Structure 1
């Protein structure tokens, strides 16, 4: 879209100052030039409601955040399952190829009910805080347990007010949007009026939908206003509105079929100070400059029109800057894309019998009826048991939810062609939710520091030490051979001054052996090689849930879940496990470490003899997270307070490790990086290499404060040569690569079967490509229950157009 007015040299100079972030911006982190880019990720799950013992299946789409086109900028995606108490209970690193990936989580049979979250991000996304992290709520419900409630911030019912453009200005009439919310953060109906200080009613206040509404107000100089009325739950409210500015601008946007009419208003006081100066009106879309207008204000009110044609799709911002380059007001607008994908799902029958084979045809066309090349995922669920998802889909997420942070109720309604009010409803949403939190404005206001690079594969870090003195071996030539890797299998590097090495870009799945050799400049093997970490880094912080969980399943669904669980229990066979014999020597009540004397103090210890059933855990850290009562104190870094000379200092504390009766050589005074190296080595061990684990909670003297402190001691018995090489200059060790996603179980009923089949997810297909006709066909067998079946497909075209579709049929 071209600029509205001429005077190109003036405009260019102005936008060197104001342009903010753009896709091609180049920055220099630590002296190296990096082209700034942005990624978004979306996870499509087989469903949103689960019970203990279920599997969570997901597929991932990584896109360029400014074009929505699938991107290959990162190959590593971290996906986490977060508990209602905001703790990571499982974490997977999955491989992305051409922006696509897949994975799964297994829910434990005794997992508590409540609202869980899926969180996904790349290493590159961590440069921008939590701006691009994907999160999705999942409800876990057990018939035997009341749904637990998430951590709540004890909020009360409330109304927030959002003057259009940002602020009310004295003597200037304008729109004020508002949103009424319950103490759970959900939209709440409200009825009342706006009153002046003397009680005079100025205008009515009524919500239109989802707790949102708007009213017109012209504040008089020096006066205050209040909203008085009643919520739909019967509670009353009496809330003061924000104060109006004595001088300033108002920005008002009205949407027509083909244009936006923009009006800038001010009062006489502000206009008198302008001296015919210009204001700049800036339009940006996803951080990129779209157009600009230098507007001389020749009266207290000036209007102009913006044609919709030529504006990029999605959310754009209109910002007014004064002559000094200061932003005064901002408004968000939304443009529907001219390109659409129409997804048609059809089944070969309208109804099926139990265990009958179904075939679903997928057809993706553009608005002109031309076939569309697309990538999509598909899930088939029992609609009689699984409630319909109201959190949105890939289109609502990429266009709306990822741009406006916070809970957007029933996001799909804003894009439903059957909803005749969707355009006005979306505009009201942008007036309220968009007013307080707009992604690209947040980024432009921050001083970005690039600390995390895009990852192109699995990375392995380690160190080389002399055999007897454990001193680092610098400048040693390292060769890593990964015979099980896909693609390149040979990698070379050197150790640094600390004897550490780093290898990146390995396409390795599951646990695979790698051979690492260390040689000097004459090709003679040297040092003992250790592997420290595999793709481990500091994780983004987890925000606690601010809303409480709700039981969304009705009594009929609860009864059916219970019936199916009991049926499966009767069919299941008990496993008999043979424990490996491990001889454990008793430990004394006092323990002398290199810097501490610890006392047992009577706390109950926890010990585990590892057997084959434990080998399903990803590693020892994963095992301890699930099995250990002390998991938050042992697996996560603890922070203790040190008060010294009237000051408060936060100090991290870590568990002490005793491996095969040998204390690991670190103390609390050592650098955290050194301590974590040792912890990561052993907590990252494959469970087949672990024989026995015991955790003791002990008490000793804190050398920081002189007082007592708790210390967790972890005793580990491991297989010989599980960590360090026994041969000089050579180490062969299994390392953990990408999570190798399980394959969804598909029964085959071409021959009759009487075995009960009560699956809630009937079929899961994470990656589907349409052919040159825009078509694909999938087939599967239905389950036993007579119920309604829902087929959901979501995906994205080669041109970056997200889409979704739903099909319903019955099993009779």
Structure 2
């Protein structure tokens, strides 16, 4: 037991290896150590009136009983209006010490922290043996020691990077790249490396600010610049949403019953006329036509149902492509987009060229077709692309019966982005200013207005002083009930703390 207490609280993994470093057995166990903060929450009275001011004192002591500074989040709810239970709550203990380490749904995760005893410890160990079972392919892990991580480690500030190409899509080393933001007062320069890459790092932003990034090859601006896009972390389904999905009907029923109780209360006290609820609103309008944002097509146009393939680029896809040729690679079935003898064309598998129509205008010159596919029409300006190969009626409408046609339909001029190959505009996300949680202050003048709040108070940034003490105040809402004060936080040593305090409003 003494050795067990030397571990911090949480899930610990123990692996047994042989003399060659191969794993023989593995077990996870939950460790309970004496490393929890002691949090005390008190109010001046046990019973308050509606809309009365409440002063709450908070004191935090570390695991050794000494006052300690810490960061805390405080929430106060009317438990009568928001029913719940300690076992089904998601808390700082259940999140950081349990569900973050185990995969799969854990029913009533806070049950293992809300109670103590042999039964709870036995149930927790059974959980480790089931949900905590895991298998590692150690040979793959060893081979990944030198692998480049998919996501870079977070750094202080924003990093902007990319590549510079020639107009022929070749990487350009030694190019000069300037980054300017007049609003932020930032001006930086860089030179591309042997692979045509550049990078600007350590940019601290207080808000989202637009940067202009321009590339040059000596004095020439006949180059293309492409900004890197960060790999996106996909948001998966939270496996611990089970309690919400299974009890949603019961939760809604409790809310509806609570609204009825509130109305009964205000009617009994003669204040029902002061309760304002949203009334039903009906909006009548003509639906905007789906094609209202495209350039007029003239005589050469067909409905989408007549096309063999319809392609629309998402904004992220369009930003990733240097040109239409890159965006269309492998997107058009049965045809190829390729360069030959200095020209880029679209051909079928027999080598027969498909005709190109841009906004109702047939493009016949090979050099103009190449310019359109290689950059004069940026993917961000394209609304959709239609390919017609097998529909003879549609091909006849377009003026021929050859291999087929590719129709490029662009957005209206007001919806287009101005394309200058050597300039890129970047708007990285900065730090958003925090909005304060609304908290009324009642005086004799406004004490009669209806207050139906369920969340009475919330502050995620409460700090205790060097002695571990602080205090906060707020006003109660209307209606009788039991108010629940929940305090959760952590200190500099990583010790977690949580305390629940209740008082009555009559």
Select which of 716, 731, 737 maps to 2:430.
737
Instruction: State the shift of 1:494 in Å.
Output: 2.8
- CA radius of gyration, larger in: 2
- CA change 1:453–1:386 in 2 (3 A) is same
Distance 1:525 1:743 in 2: 51
Q: Which runs of 5+ in 1 are unaligned?
A: 1-257, 260-306, 576-582, 603-618, 622-638, 645-657, 683-693
Partner of 2:33: 337
In the TM superposition, what is the alpha-carbon distance from 1:601 to its structure 2 partner? 5.1
Contact 1:461–1:500 under 8 Å retained in 2? yes
Structure 2 counterpart of 1:429: 127
- What's the counterpart of residue 746 of structure 1? 439
> What's the counterpart of residue 473 of structure 2?
779
Higher relative contact order (CA 8 A, sep 6+): 2
Q: How far apart, CA to CA, are the structure 1 residues paired with 2:385 and 2:215?
A: 39
- Shift in CA distance, 537/323, structure 1 to aligned 2, threshold 3 Å: closer
CA contact (8 A) 1:508 1:738 kept: yes
Alignment of 1:108-507 (within 5 A): 258=1, 307-321=3-17, 326-388=22-84, 390-416=88-114, 418-419=116-117, 421-434=119-132, 436-437=133-134, 446=141, 447-448=143-144, 449=147, 450-456=149-155, 457-461=157-161, 474-482=173-181, 489-495=186-192, 501-507=198-204
Distance 1:520 1:543, change over 3 A: same
C-alpha distance in 2, partners of 1:715/1:399? 52
> How far did residue 736 of structure 1 move?
3.9
If each structure's helix is expressed as a fraction of its own residues, which one has the higher value?
2
After TM superposition, give the deviation of residue 343 of structure 1 in Å: 1.3
Deviation at 1:512, TM superposition (A): 1.8
Structure-1 separation of matches of 2:476 and 2:55: 10
Query: Deviations 1:253-290 (Å, cap 9, x if unpaired)?
Result: xxxxx37xxxxxxxxxxxxxxxxxxxxxxxxxxxxxxx
> Contact 1:519–1:525 at 8 Å: present in 2 too?
yes
Aligned residue in 2 for 1:599: 304
Deviation track 1:572-591 (CA, whole Å, cap 9, x = no partner) reads: 9999xxxxxxx967744997
SS of the equivalent of 2:251 reads coil
Does the CA-based 8 Å contact 1:479-1:490 persist in structure 2?
Answer: yes
Greater CA deviation, 457-466 or 390-399? 457-466
CA contact (8 A) 2:6 2:33 kept: no
| SS at 1:764 equivalent | strand
Instruction: Please tell me whether the aligned partners of residues 723 and 733 of structure 1 are also in contact (alpha carbons under 8 angstroms).
Output: no
Counterpart CA distance in 1 for 2:118 and 2:440 is: 43
When the two structures are superposed, what TM-score results if normalisation uses the length of structure 2?
Answer: 0.63
CA contact (8 A) 2:225 2:422 kept: no
CA distance in 2, matches of 1:589, 1:569: 52
Cα distance change, pair 746–428 in 1 and its aligned pair in 2 (3 A): same
Question: What does the per-residue CA deviation read over 1:380-423, in whole Å, with 9 as the maximum and x for residues that have no partner?
Answer: 22322334362532222222222222222222222335445322
Match of 1:558 in 2: 256
Q: How many residues align?
A: 415
Q: Map residues 72-91 of structure 1 onto 2, 5 A cutoff.
A: none
- The answer to whether the 8 A contact 1:517-1:529 is kept is no
**Residue 332 of structure 1 contacts residue 430 of structure 1 at CA under 8 Å; is this kept in 2?**
yes
Counterparts of 1:55-74 in structure 2, within 5 Å, are: none
**Contact 1:600/1:699 (8 A) holds in 2:** no
Q: How far off its partner does 1:477 sit?
A: 2.4
Find the residue that maps to 1:794 and give its secondary structure: strand
Cα displacement (A) at 1:598: 7.2
- CA displacement 1:512-564 (0-9 Å, x = unmatched): 2334454566xx6845886756x642333735869665424152322435898
Contact 1:416 1:422 in 2 (8 A): no
Distance 2:414 2:262 in 1: 41
Q: Does 1:758 align with 2:452?
A: yes
Displacement of 1:711 after TM fit? Answer: 11
- 8 Å contact from structure 2 (residues 295, 411) kept in 1: no
| Contact 2:5 2:33 survives alignment (8 Å) | no
Q: What is the SS of the residue equivalent to 1:451?
A: coil
Aligned equivalents of 2:14 and 2:294: distance in 1? 72
Q: 1:537 aligns with which of 231, 243, 267?
A: 231
Asked whether the equivalents of residues 318 and 332 of structure 1 are also in contact (C-alpha less than 8 Å), the reply is yes
Cα distance in 1 for partners of 2:108, 2:62 equals 25
Q: 1:332 to 1:512 in 2, by over 3 A?
A: closer
1:645-684 equivalent positions in 2, closer than 5 A: none
Aligned partners of 2:41, 2:407: CA distance in 1, in Å?
59
Equivalent residue in structure 1 for 2:209, among 512, 519, 522: 512
Gaps of 5+ in 2: 264-271, 284-291, 308-313, 317-329, 336-357, 391-402
SS at match of 2:110: helix
Whole-angstrom distance in 1 between the partners of 2:223 and 2:297: 33
| Residues 1:755 and 1:308: Cα distance change in structure 2 (over 3 Å) | same
Deviation at 1:324, TM superposition (A): 6.3
Cα RMSD between the aligned structures?
5.3
Paired with 1:493 and 1:431, the residues of 2 have a C-alpha distance of 55
Post-superposition Cα deviations, 1:754-800, rounded to whole Å, max 9, x if no partner, equal 44332332222122222101122222233334332222222211011
Distance (Å, rounded) in 1 between the aligned partners of 2:24 and 2:207: 54
Work out whether residues 342 and 366 of structure 1, in 8 Å CA contact, stay in contact via their aligned partners in 2: yes
Provide TM-score, normalisation by structure 1. Answer: 0.42
CA distance in 1, matches of 2:58, 2:32: 24
